[in-house]
Amino acid sequence: MEIRSERHEACLRLYPSGEMTIYSAAELKPALLHALGQSDEIEIDLGDISEIDTSGVQLLMLMKREAAVAGKALKLAGHSPAVLEVFELLGLGNWFGDPQLLPADAGKTRRVA
Amino acid sequence: MSLDLSEALQTFYAESRGLLQEMEESLLRLESAPADTESINAVFRAAHTIKGSSGLFGLDDIVAFTHKAENVLDRVRNNELPLNEELIGLLLGCRDHIERLVDIASDNAEMDSDTRVQGEALAARLSQCMGESAATLPVETGSPLESVGGGQMAGDVWHISLRFGQDVLKDGMDPLSFIRYLATLGEIRHLTTLTDALPDAAGMDPECCYLGFEISLNSDADKARIESVFEFVRDDCQLRILAPGSRAADFINLITALPEDKSRLGEMLVACGAVTQRELDESLAAQECESARQKNVQPLGEILVKRQIVQPELVDAALIKQKEVRLRQSQEARYIRVHADKLDELINLVGELVIASAGAGLLAQRQGDGAMQEATALMSRLVDEIRDGALRLRMVPIGETFSRFQRVVRDVSKELGKDIELVITGAETELDKSVVEKIGDPLTHLVRNSMDHGIESAEVRAASGKPVKGKLRLNAYHDSGSIVIEVGDDGGGLNKDRILKKAIERGIVGPNQNLSDREIYNLIFEAGFSTADQVSNLSGRGVGMDVVRRNIEALRGMVELDSTPGEGTTVRIRLPLTLAIIDGFLVGVGDAAYVVPLEMVLECVELSDADRQALTQRAYINLRGEVLPFVRLHDHFEVAGKGSRRENIVVVQYGGRKAGLVVDRLMGEFQTVIKPLGKMFSRVKGISGSTILGTGEVALILDVQALIQQAAERERAAA
């Protein structure tokens, strides 16, 4: 699985898209870990995640932890409604410590530039 | 009504009375220690059990009333209602009312209007206790078990601890969906995701599940329902469902209220819903597995707590209940209810057996057949044992009678406005059931009398430097073949001069008669004697003490009184231990045989020639330097003919006094079955009954007490 990435100065921004589920987890893990090796500051944009399950959450948690261990900064941003729903269910907002934006209306996410 | 049911009903009545008794004792205990939760629970349990059982028999009046009382008790138990004196008084009233209802039911009677009005008044006061907050109380459902599943208790927060197996994702199950489903049962208050199990990046298999969840679920569902959410992953996850804190208290209540057929810890916890069957099975399996590996088996309770299935408090409650149940069961196993008539019949038969075996022994002796004598000797020894055993069956501790007075003392002291404490000692002293039944009334009279006249009012007590709280003592002990029951108070004591004055006024004693203090005190047992300055509705009408004495004498007992001015009065009742069979000492006077109860016999000495010579001049002998008055039975019963040449003195003791009975022959010990004398002989002094000897002859049983009195009187007259 290819993850689109963009570099903004020191920050590497990743744009995974589609499902973050058990079906893609095996591909996603090395891709994400690889990206972690590329930069000291990483932002994962979750705006295009259409579905996320436990394995996806787990991977994000792994990333966060690995980043912390390596002394890097990892931010999650632009949570899609699917991600928000799961984060809310599992009470993970605080765990990741990223600002989450509640959807203004169903299906759409307002982004702050 | 079928026979079985009516028998069950009788058991219900008997049990209810027992429970009511327990309830009363607990309530009285609560009066001095209002925070005693054990007693509160006991009262609640009693009410609860009576309600449940009477429901079973369709005794709706009892159910309805007890239910109201139980509601109040429930609030007391939950510390929602302070237990003050007034409330205890009300609850005691309720207890009495329930007792009346039970009595009415057992008499098959209709409730009279008085009882109905009283019940309504009590019910009104009970609902007053429930007050405004009653509306917020959970509605009582029929069975306490339902109240958990019934869903009236909103706002219970369950704690669910979830650890998924690594393979759940590969098996196509997403833990998230279970949590979503769980959310449909209630509101997930809080959820913590645990990542401790997440391995490092290299070792982590992205297709494995490493997460754990700690969930607080606000739900009305019961444990089994919550568990069912995880049914599909049950084998792939560790699931701990911990009851909410408030539920824990409910569970503890449920455990105490459980029917007693569950005596195993696991069963108990499953029955109340604290543990699901599955959790129990797993824990038991773990226990088994553990015990296979090592010798010492971990108790189930510990396993359950360790596996975080239940709170330790719950296990404790269940263990306490378990202990109670076991105790109850073992007690049940140790006691059988036997109809008193059957016992009486048995005692009668044993009496006949004693007589028959004496007859057989006598025959064997006459025939001089050695083997026969041996056989009858063995038999008579066994009969002895049977007799003792049979008599023991009827012995009951007097404590039960004593403890009834707790209530009497409480009520009467309230009525009199005195602060009186009852001290009971010797409650374990045993005596014959028939005596226990008859001693209640005289005792009540004595207790009331002591409280009314004996113990002074608080002001008088304070003025004379005594503790304000009066003390009433009930004591019992065994003493030379009889039981002594003492009713003592620490009051002002009897006024000797007033008694004497009154006795002379009433012509009971002559003005010049010289009486000892003791004799003066005991004058109050004479008929028509009362010294109370005021007549209260309790005592003091001059009927009473003489009735007490008559009642006690009817039991072949005696009553006496000791008093010390300023320190108090003690009434001592002396009663024979049993009314049926005694060990006797057979003596011969002329051709006839007489029986002296063996316990009263101290020794036998030969009447010396010197004493015989002096017989005509004095009625006492010098027994090792002691003056011993005696009665010559030959003269007393006016037996024809001259006495034997060698007479003996049987030294007897009763009630602290000694006397001698001069007899012609000593014939040895004899088991004596007491047969009452006919009415014709009721006036004969010195005889208390008769018995039948092995030869079929009748022997009279001597009334030692009367004889001693006579001897003492003769001595005084001579002096």
Measured between alpha carbons, how far is B621 from B614 in angstroms, rounded to an integer? 9
In sequence order, the 6+-apart residues with CB closer than 8 A to the CB of B352 are B673
What digits encode the pLDDT tens for the residues B537-551?
Answer: 444 444 467 778 878
| B558 strand-pairing partners | B574
Pairing assessment for the beta strands B237-242 and B212-219 based on DSSP bridges: unpaired
Mutation target for B interface from A1, A19, A20, A22: give the one with most B CBs within 10 A: A22
What local confidence, expressed as pLDDT, does residue B140 receive? 38
Pairwise CB contact (< 8 Å): B206 & A91: no
User: Looking at beta carbons, which residues of chain B come within 8 Å of A90?
Assistant: 176, 179, 191, 193, 213
pLDDT digit string, tens, across residues B641-669 = 776 678 888 998 876 678 888 888 898 88
A58 and B180 within 8 Å at the Cβ level: the answer is: no
Confidence at residue A11, expressed as pLDDT on a 0 to 100 scale: 85
Does residue A55 contact residue A88 with C-beta atoms inside 8 Å? no
* Neighbouring residues of B115: CB distance < 8 A, sequence distance ≥ 6: B97, B100, B101, B104
Apex B293 CA angle, B289 and B299, nearest 5: 60
Contacts 24+ apart (CB under 8 A), B548-557: B548/B442, B548/B445, B548/B446, B549/B525, B551/B438, B551/B441, B551/B442, B552/B439, B552/B442, B554/B438, B555/B435, B555/B438, B555/B439, B555/B579, B556/B688, B556/B703, B557/B482
Q: How far is CA B630 from the centre of its chain?
A: 43
pLDDT band, very low/low/confident/very high, at B486 (cuts 50, 70, 90): very high
Percent of chain B with pLDDT over 90: 3
Among B403-407, B408-412, B453-457, B480-484, name the one with the lowest average pLDDT: B480-484
- pLDDT value of position B253: 65
**pLDDT category, B151, cuts 50, 70, 90?**
very low
Q: Closest-CA residue in chain A for B171?
A: A22
Residue type, B292: A
- Name the residue among B107, B143, B106, B144 with its Cα closest to residue B15: B106
What pLDDT, on a 0 to 100 scale, did the predictor assign at position B579?
Answer: 61
Closest by Cβ to A54, choosing from B176, B183, B190: B176
List residues bridging with A5 in a β-sheet: A14
CA distance B350 to B348: 5
pLDDT in tens, B265-299: 666 667 666 677 777 777 777 777 766 666 566 67
Predicted pLDDT of residue B378: 92
pLDDT at B144: 36
What's the pLDDT at B630? 83
For chain B, give the percent of residues with pLDDT over 70.
82
Q: Which residue has the higher pLDDT, A72 or B147?
A: A72
Q: What letter would DSSP give residue B141?
A: P
Interchain proximity A55–B176, CB inside 8 Å: no
Query: Which candidate from A22, A33, A91 shows the least CB-CB separation from B193?
Result: A91
A57 in B contact zone (CB under 8 Å): yes
B567-586 pLDDT, tens digit each: 888 999 988 766 667 778 99
> Between A62 and B278, where is the model more confident?
A62
Give residue B248's pLDDT band: very low, low, confident or very high (50, 70, 90): low
The pLDDT value recorded for residue B624 is 86
Q: Evaluate if residue A32 carries a pLDDT over 90.
A: no
B560 by Cβ neighbours in 10 Å (0-12 / 13-18 / 19+) ranks as middle
Q: Write down the pLDDT at residue B296.
A: 61
Condensed to tens digits (0 to 9), the pLDDT of residues B605-636 reads: 888 777 777 766 777 788 888 888 888 888 88
CB contact under 8 A, B198 and A62: yes
- pLDDT, residue B138, reads 39
What's the mean pLDDT in A67-74? 84
Task: Give B193 to chain A, closest Cα distance, Å.
Answer: 6
Of A19-23, B299-303, B495-499, B688-692, least confident by mean pLDDT is: B299-303
Distance from chain centroid for Cα B392: 17
More confident residue, B590 or A108: B590
Considering A38-42, B3-7, B434-438, the range whose residues carry the highest mean pLDDT is: A38-42
Among chain B residues, the shortest Cα distance to A57 is held by B211
* B473 or B283, higher pLDDT: B473
pLDDT computed for residue B272 by the predictor: 65
Q: What angle do CA B440, B442, B447 make, to 5 degrees?
A: 90
Q: What is the pTM of this model?
A: 0.47
Q: What is the CA radius of gyration of chain A?
A: 13
Contact A89 B210 (CB under 8 A): no
| pLDDT in the model for residue B463 | 86
Work out the pLDDT band at B382, boundaries 50, 70, 90: very high
Average pLDDT over residues B338-343: 82
Residue A48 has pLDDT above 90, yes or no: no
Q: Above 90 in pLDDT, residue B475?
A: yes
Of residues B340 and B386, more confidently modeled: B386
Specify the pLDDT at position B262. Answer: 56
Reported ipTM: 0.83
Phi, psi of B628 (to 5 degrees): -120, 110
Q: How confident is the model at residue A110 (pLDDT cuts 50, 70, 90)?
A: very low
- Residue B578: the pLDDT is 62
Q: Which residues does chain A have within 8 Å of residue B170's beta carbon, measured at their own beta carbons?
A: 22
8 Å CB contact of B207 and A90: no
Enumerate the residues of chain A whose CB falls inside 8 A of the CB of residue B201.
33, 62, 66
Q: Are B671 and B583 in contact (CB under 8 A)?
A: yes
Look over chain B and give the mean of its residue pLDDT values, rounded to a whole number. 78
* Closest listed residue to residue B563, CA positions, set B467, B498, B504, B489: B489
pLDDT of residue B297: 62
Task: Supply A55's token pair.
Answer: 């394995």
CA dihedral B178, B183, B185, B190 (to 10 degrees): 110
For B500-504, what is the mean pLDDT? 81
**Contact A91/B192, CB-based, under 8 Å?**
yes
Phi/psi of residue B708, each to 5°? -65, -40
Query: Rounded to an integer, what distance in angstroms lies between the CA atom of residue A54 and that of residue B197?
Result: 14
Bridge partners (DSSP) listed for residue B174: none
Contact B426, B477 (CB under 8 A): yes
Interface contact B183-A65, CB threshold 8 A? no
